[in-house]
Amino acid sequence: MYWSMNTLPLHLYVELGVRSLSGLLWTLLLLFLWHCYRLGSDLQIPGHTHAGKLKASSRRSMVSRGSICAGTKCSARSKLSRSDQITPFISMETEEDEDEGQGYFTPVLSHALFPAQASAEAKKLYAALQEYAKRYSWVGMGRIHKGLREQVKVNDHSAIQKPHLFFLPDVPSVPFFPRDAHRHDIEVLEANYPAILAEFQAVYQRGIDSKYGWTCLGPKAQAVFPLYSAGVYVAGNCRSCPCTYRTLLSLRTFISSNSLGSAGFWLLGPGATLGSSYGPTNTRLRCHLGLQTPSLCELVVGGEPQCWSEGHCLLVDDSFLHTVSHRGSPDAGPRVILSVDLWHPNVAAAERQALDFMFSPDF
């Protein structure tokens, strides 16, 4: 017998197959959307939830993980939340912070009492922070708020790291940072080393004198040729070094808008030693580009010694106790570096904006 394909009701089976497939796809789509909704409802967006809600959600998440023991209170530090895993440079909150409603990314209580024994400088900075919050927001100001309140404790005890002006808590710090912390800016500075060195030699040959833009800091050729001084652009000196000035402007993390940031050529003559001291804050790193580095020149930060190298950068956290020395022969010439202040990589964008406002030269 001869069978023709036209005798089979293919259109019916095709229609049924398409309808079944589309129904299955719609079902899977609905299940996926429901799953995303449940995940989203469990996530807490930093700075947009009330402290009480944060506490409740953390308790629910702990119960779901089976990590709560009945009748006991956990005193360990809280684990990283999903948002912390996405942004590894953001500090963790402790359960004590949650209980007090002082999490770094929850709104800060502006009516909190400020320590009466705080210094006049700390009170001025706190007033600047309050003014910033009125114009913008308290959200994201938790670490700055905590740092201002605890500055008294930092100044009262001796430590290997003790910034005397402002200490931002929970900032990971080491005396010397790896190049990867600011790879882009370091590569830009090192790529422009020949032009920067030539401009330094031009201004050095004119003589170290205040009428040529130099600032003498002491005997034995301790001097600085500032391009930015405490966040203020030094117009005459920048015009004398146009390539160096353009290089500074091309850096991504250069602190150029507040009094914590400076840049310039630093000289240290043979036989000179700068005594132990602390930098003003741990929110910055000092990048040293070696221009002229005679032998027996040494930088000791936090007990760790390092030597400069011509054409290469060192990333230094000068909030640690540090000393500088040049024990070379008298005819060795001065040690010369280009020093540039960069933001610490752990300082968030919102915190940088607030610090620019608080330490503004005009505030």
Domain assignments of the chain as residue spans, ordered by start: 176-347
CB atoms within 10 A of CB 144: 27
Instruction: Return all residues near 257 (Cβ < 8 A) that are at least 6 apart.
Output: 231, 356, 360
Q: How far apart are CA 139 and CA 103, in angstroms?
A: 10
Overall pTM surpassing 0.75 (yes/no): no
Q: How confident is the model at residue 29 (pLDDT cuts 50, 70, 90)?
A: confident
Percent of the chain with pLDDT over 90: 56
pLDDT confidence of residue 43: 45
Q: How far apart are CA 343 and CA 254, in angstroms?
A: 7
What is the average per-residue pLDDT within 55-74? 40
Please determine, looking at this structure, whether the domain spanning 176-347 carries the CATH number 2.60.120.330.
Answer: yes
Q: How confident is the model at residue 17 (pLDDT cuts 50, 70, 90)?
A: low
